[in-house]
Amino acid sequence: MREITKTFVILLGLSLPLQVMNVNANPLLNEAGKSEVKKSHKKHRSMHKMARYLELSDEQKTKIKDIYQQAREDNVVYKESRQAYKTQLEQIMAAKDFDEEAFASLRQTYAVTFSEAALSRAKTKHAIYHTLTEEQREKLKSAKGKRRALLH
């Protein structure tokens, strides 16, 4: 019995520092385990990577920044609608019993807004795509193919 207790204490003593190190392994995570790096910062970095990879000219960079700025201004309405949708969806999910009719009604209510937002995103992508040269488009297409292959 003593050997088992002694072994248990030794294993506990050895594993405790590993658990503490695991908690502090990623300094970008807060107490809740969520990343403190904002998505907009990640997107900003990916834009710089894309600009370097495609070797964009200064004129192209300026055009793309203008396109994104305009899209950001236009999409404020959709952001507010999306937040209202999420709030109502959380209320449906918090209910004890799932109400299919309420969910279908909510989706139907916001269907037009969501399709308009998708149309806006498509227009933004189209405008950016047409600021690229043919060689840059091919390079972008091959890079997307490589990314998809890595994900699957």
pTM of the predicted protein model:
0.61
Instruction: Give whole-number Cα distances, 131 to 44, 49, 65, 107, in Å.
Output: 19, 17, 11, 35
pLDDT tens string 95-143: 999 999 999 999 999 999 999 999 999 999 999 999 999 999 998 888 8
26: confidence class by pLDDT, cuts 50, 70, 90: low
* Sign of the Cα pseudo-torsion (133, 139, 144, 147, in order): negative
Give the model's pLDDT for residue 113. 92
Quick one: average pLDDT of 56-62?
92
Sketch the domain layout of the chain as residue ranges. 37-151
Name the token pair of 99: 């109400």
- pLDDT for position 36: 58
Just give the CATH number of 37-151: 1.20.120.1490
What is the per-residue DSSP string for 89-103? Answer: HHHHHHSSS--HHHH
The confidence score (pLDDT) of residue 62 equals 93
- C-alpha distance from residue 45 to each of 51, 106, 136 (Å): 10, 35, 19
